[in-house]
Amino acid sequence: LALFANSRVQWPPMIKELFHALSIFNLNLEITAPECSIPDLGYESKWHFIMATPLLVTLLLLSTHVFLWCKKRFISGRRRKSMTHLSALIATYLVMFYFLYLYLTRTTLDVFNCSPTDPPDGKEYLEVVFEPCGEPGGLQVRLLPLASITLIVYVIGYPAFVYGTLRKHKLRIMEDQLLRAQGKGDTRVENRNAYDIRKRYHKIYYHFKPDFYWWIMAVLARKFCIAFTALMFNKNPAFQLSMALLVMFSGYVLQ
């Protein structure tokens, strides 16, 4: 929907408003119109805030972990169970990153998306804001080092972590899914081998059949391809939407 809303198509105003409203399900910061609330807020500040969102959530979850650990250990006297909440916090973080992934990917790639004007004037400009690319001290040059880091840590790092986790715990995940299909495995007695795996990582595989426990990788690949299509083919809306349709239809057929 965000792709449709931002494409160079003359949508009716009502349809544009519908796209904008539904973009809240993608955790889109634009829905809050921060430029209206903070007139001096520039694109650079907004970009930094978006990229810092996972770090802020990490800090919040770490604070929650420390609070619960201290409470269990020093107030409740439950030293043996002082870390039982950790799996739930990790599961929460993975879900948060899953929903933010498309938005983070697109915002990261925005920094690399430069194109010439029509007619060309010999320079390339950022698509997201009309500023020259590659100028010393310019917006793109200032954001490029951080964008390279977020490209590695967020765009590549999250799928790599998910893939490594699924591969490492492959057999126990498949066992857990077989138990889930039977309505079992919610207790350590029923699920001796994979109970902790279920508590910690079930959000990244529980939708899928045991043999296709890795299918979230296909979902993440689809998200990346949609973000790539939205940025790299925005000069030609017909081709852009055709590519987006191809990505979504391919994902549907594979599913």
- Position 186 in a domain: no
- Position 156 in a domain: no
The tally of domains found in the chain comes to 1
For the chain, the straight-line distance linking the first and the last C-alpha, in angstroms and rounded, comes to 20
- Position 85 in a domain: yes
- Position 202 in a domain: no
Lowest mean pLDDT among 26-30, 123-127, 246-250: 26-30
- Position 250 in a domain: no
- Position 190 in a domain: no
Check pLDDT > 60 for residue 69. Answer: yes
DSSP track, the chain: -HHHHHSS----HHHHHHHHHHGGGGT-GGGG-HHHHSTT--HHHHHHHHHHHHHHHHHHHHHHHHHHHHIIIIIS---TTTTTTHHHHHHHHHHHHHHHHHHHHHHHHHTT-EEE-SS--S-EEESSSS-BSS-TTSHHHHHHHHHHHHIIIIIIHHHHHHHHHHHHTHHHHHHHHHHHHTT--SSTTT-TTTHHHHHHHGGGTTTS-GGGTTTHHHHHHHHHHHHHHHHHTTT-HHHHHHHHHHHHHHHHHH-
Average pLDDT for residues 175-186, to the nearest whole number?
A: 91
- Position 80 in a domain: yes
pLDDT digits (tens, 9 = 90+) for 104-143: 998 999 899 888 887 778 888 888 888 888 888 889 999 9
Read off the pTM.
0.82
125 near 133, Cβ under 8 Å? Answer: yes
- Position 48 in a domain: no
What is the pLDDT, as a whole number, of residue 72? 85
Check pLDDT > 90 for residue 63. Answer: yes
What is the pLDDT, as a whole number, of residue 52? 93
> Domain range spanning residue 125?
59-147
